[in-house]
Amino acid sequence: MNRNADLNQDQEHATNNSPRLVWDLGSAYDFFISLEVLYQPVQYGLRASWAAGVRSRLPAAERKFMEEIADFFHLPAHWIYGLPQPKDATAVLWSLRQIPPEQRLLNILLEPKLPQDVQALYQRVFERNQWEEADLEALKAATKEWQLPNRHKTLSKILDWLTHPAEYGELIYAVMQAYYQSFFAEEEKRIAPVLQTALERAKELAVDLSFYDLLEVLSQGLHFDHPFESPELVLAPSYWITPLVYFGYTPEKNHLLVFGARPPDASVIPGEQVPDALLRGLKALADPTRLRIMRYLAAEPLMPAELARRLRLRAPTVIHHLKELRLAGLVHITLMPDEEKRYAPRKEAIDALYSLFMEFLEDGVDSSKKA
C-alpha cells in the first residue's frame, strides 16, 4: 500500500471499544462518486437537466455503456484505497492501464464486502467464459436483498460482461478516460483544496471528540449503536457524496467510511448561487408530510414502521420521506445491530439551515447595494 506518512498517521484516541483511525485523501473517490451521481441525479438531489448536460459530453459509445451499467455502478473503494499517491484521477487511469483489459472488470467487481458466494460465481463465469440459466438463478438468489430496478436484465448484463472481459475492460478504461477529459479534469481542480481542508478539520475534531461522536459529525447524523469489529477505520472525505456516506472495506477488510465534505455554502454545480444545503433543506421542509414526521420525531426517536402507523401511511412512503430528510441532513439516524434504523430530528442542522438562509438573503441585499 503506497500511502505517505501524513495519510498513514493514526489517531491515538482509540479505545477498547473503537478502532484506530487511519486518514485517507484523494479525489479518486469523487471521480467514481461523481459518475454515479451524474447517472442517478434524483437520488442525490441533483438537478437532472444539468446532470444530463454533463453526460452528453461523453462520446456516444462510452455514454451508451455508462447508461447500461448505471443501475449497478458503485464506488470501488477497496480498489481506490490501494491506488498510488496522490490518488487522483490520473492515478485511476494509470492504474487501470497496468491491469490487463480482461482483468479490469474483476478487479473492480470483486470488492471485499461482496458476499463470498457471489464472488465465487463471478469467478466461475469468468473462467468458463460463458454462463447458463442456472448461474443467473443462483445470482438472483444470492443478491435478493439488492435493490435493482430491473433485476433480471441487470444481473444478466453482469454475467455478459464477465464472458467478454477484454471487450468490457477496454470500455471501462475508455469511459474513465473520456469522463476525465470532458469534465473531471476541471472539477478536480475545484474540489481538491476543499478535500484537503475537510481532512484537516476532521483530524482536529478527532482530537476533541469521542470516536462515535466524531463519526456522527462527519456523517452528518449517523449514530452507530454497535461496535466496529475491525482494528482500523479508514476515513476519507468526498465532495460529491455530501451529506451521505459510503461504508465499505479496504482490501485488508478493515472498515472504510467515505464522508461528505462539501461546505454548507457550496454547490455541486459550479457557479450555482444557491447552496445545495439550503435548497435541499427548504425543499425537504416544504412538504406537509415531512413536517409532520419532524414533529413526531421531535417528541421521541422513532423507527419507520412506528412512523407509518402514526401517519397512517405505507412504510415505503414513509421511508421515501425519511430519505429526503436525510438527504437534507435534517435527521439523526441510529443504526442498530439488527439493521433497524431509529430517526430523530437533527436540531443543530435546522439551526444551521436558518443561519444559511439568512446569510443567503443578506448576501443578496449586499449585492444589490453594490449594484
Q: Could you report the per-residue pLDDT of 292-346, keeping only the tens digit for each?
A: 999 999 999 999 999 999 999 999 999 999 999 999 999 999 988 777 899 999 9
Does residue 6 register a pLDDT over 70?
Answer: no
Least confident of 69-78, 232-241, 322-331: 69-78
| CA distance linking residue 367 with residue 371, whole number of Å | 6
Percent of the chain topping pLDDT 90:
76
Q: In terms of pLDDT, which residue wins out, 9 or 186?
A: 186
Q: Which residue has the cell 478516460?
A: 177
Least confident of 6-15, 208-217, 277-286: 6-15
Average pLDDT of 89-111?
92
pLDDT of residue 209: 96
Q: In terms of pLDDT, which residue wins out, 250 or 364?
A: 250
Does residue 236 register a pLDDT over 70?
Answer: yes
- List phi, psi (to 5°) of 249: -140, 155
Q: Domains in the chain, ordered, with CATH?
A: 20-26+191-260 (no CATH), 28-186 (no CATH), 276-370 (1.10.10.10)
Does residue 239 register a pLDDT over 80?
Answer: yes
Does residue 85 register a pLDDT over 50?
Answer: yes
Does residue 95 register a pLDDT over 90?
Answer: yes
Percent of the chain topping pLDDT 70:
93
Q: What share of the chain is helix, strand, coil (3-state, %, to 5)?
A: 60, 10, 30
Q: Which residue has the cell 485517507?
A: 24
| CA distance linking residue 87 with residue 234, whole number of Å | 15
Average pLDDT of 35-47?
92
Longest dimension (CA), the chain: 71
